[in-house]
Amino acid sequence: MPAGHISRVRALYRRILLLHRLLPPDLKALGDQYVKDEFRRHKTVRSDEAQRFLQEWEVYAAVLWQQANENRQNSTEKACFGTALPAERLDDFRDEQIGQLQELMQEATKPNRQFSITESRKPKF
């Protein structure tokens, strides 16, 4: 794998995790875990699949950045993140990816999350 490619992947990964800090805590935790799993899962893919993977995650990062800025400007409204996935885009997905999307949707829409996140203001010693 070329060094330029590796640095591009690492920079994108770090950028996404930094952008996730702008999300509500439950979405941040879910997003961080998903990103970590996906980047790990795609470490050894073919070059053409790696290019598409990076392009899609770069679009995600750009949309998240735009939505975070819009949410900051509209501070009186409830923050809104995400976009609808058009049905025709599902034709591009493999069965495994459809299953992952289904699991992600179920986790994201659970009324009672399986994890609890609290932000402590006290320093840990």
- 44-99 confidence digits (pLDDT tens): 888 888 899 999 999 999 999 999 888 888 877 777 787 777 888 888 888 888 88
* Contact between residue 23 and residue 81 where contact means Cβ atoms under 8 Å apart: yes
pLDDT of residue 88: 85
Chain center to CA of 101? 12
Contact assessment for residue 58 and residue 65, using Cβ atoms and an 8 Å cutoff:
no
Tokens of 40: 């790990």
pTM of the model: 0.71
Structure token pair of residue 6: 């590796």
> Which of 21, 23, 34 shows the shortest CA–CA distance to 80?
23
- What are the tokens at 37? 């799993």
Q: Using 50, 70 and 90 to split pLDDT, how confident is the model at 14? A: very high
Q: Which residues contact 54 (CB under 8 A, 6 or more apart)?
A: 8, 9, 12
User: What pLDDT score does 118 carry?
Assistant: 44
User: For residue 112, what pLDDT is reported?
Assistant: 57
Instruction: Reply yes or no on whether the pLDDT at 111 is more than 90.
Output: no
> What is the arithmetic mean of pLDDT over 37-42?
92
Task: Give the model confidence (pLDDT) of 61-70 as tens digits.
Answer: 999 999 988 8
Integer-rounded Cα radius of gyration of the chain: 16
